[in-house]
């Protein structure tokens, strides 16, 4: 009995094979893109919610903390850069899928360039979050040191409030999210560069 080859078998034999190194790069991009995306989304969501509560209380509340605007602006810029960093994680996943296509996959130089841009975005975002955290922490520290110990009759605006600490927590969450993006980009840069 002779077996009639099916059309799909013929097409599979004629299709060019994807090299093993390209498949490894595809797996790395897809996996790291997924991990980076989800960690940044989850931690970033906590940061955004915390930041919204903190910024409303710190800038518009009755017990508004004086001088906190610079820290809040830095934190806001960092959150915008986090959104761009999340976009780069999505692009890593897309590039991983495109690499599985033997006919039309992106060039290695283009992938490396995209990873470098993702690295720079997360680095800038982390820097802005650190500046924001340092500004807010400094203001909170000055606030706590300005009240003499044992004083109960001070103005309530002078006491450190939970909303002040919430702003620091929002910046810390943003730093963690950007750090995840940095790790993802650095790991991919190392793996793809080999």
Q: pLDDT per residue over 74-107, tens digit each? A: 888 999 999 999 999 999 998 888 888 767 778 8
The pLDDT score that the predictor gives to residue 67 is 66
| Cα gap 71→68, rounded to integer Å | 6
Please report the DSSP string for 11-37 in residue order. Answer: HHHHSPPPPHHHHHHHHHHHHHHHHHH
pLDDT at 154 over 70: no
pLDDT at 117 over 50: yes
Kindly report the backbone phi and psi dihedral angles of residue 5, in degrees, each rounded to the nearest multiple of 5, phi listed first. Answer: -65, 135
The pLDDT score that the predictor gives to residue 14 is 46
Q: What is the pTM of this model?
A: 0.79
Total length of the chain: 194
Rounded alpha-carbon distances, angstroms, from residue 82 to 30, 41, 76, 143, 164: 19, 9, 10, 29, 22
If you average pLDDT over residues 120-145, what whole number do you get?
89
Q: Which residues, including other chains, have CB under 8 Å from residue 57's CB and lie 6 or more apart? A: 63, 163, 166
Distance of CA 69 to the CA centre of its chain: 23
Instruction: Compute the mean pLDDT over every residue in the chain, rounded to the nearest whole number.
Output: 81
């Amino acid at each position: 009995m002779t077996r009639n080859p099916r059309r799909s078998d013929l097409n599979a034999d004629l299709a060019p094979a994807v090299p093993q190194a390209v498949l490894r790069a595809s797996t790395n991009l897809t996996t790291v893109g997924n991990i980076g995306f989800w960690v940044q989304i989850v931690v970033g969501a906590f940061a955004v919610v915390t930041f919204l509560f903190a910024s409303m209380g710190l800038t518009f509340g009755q017990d508004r903390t004086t001088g906190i605007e610079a820290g809040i602006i830095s934190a806001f810029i960092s959150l915008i850069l986090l959104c761009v960093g999340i976009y780069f994680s999505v692009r890593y996943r897309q590039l991983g899928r495109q690499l599985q296509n033997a006919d039309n996959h992106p060039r290695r130089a283009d992938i490396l360039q995209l990873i470098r841009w993702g690295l720079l975005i997360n680095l800038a975002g982390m820097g802005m979050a650190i500046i924001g955290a340092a500004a807010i922490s400094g203001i909170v520290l000055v606030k706590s040191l300005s009240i003499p110990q044992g004083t109960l009759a001070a103005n309530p605006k002078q006491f450190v409030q939970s909303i002040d600490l919430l702003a620091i927590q929002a910046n810390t969450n943003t730093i963690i999210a950007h750090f995840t993006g940095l790790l993802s980009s650095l790991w991919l840069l190392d793996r793809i560069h080999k």
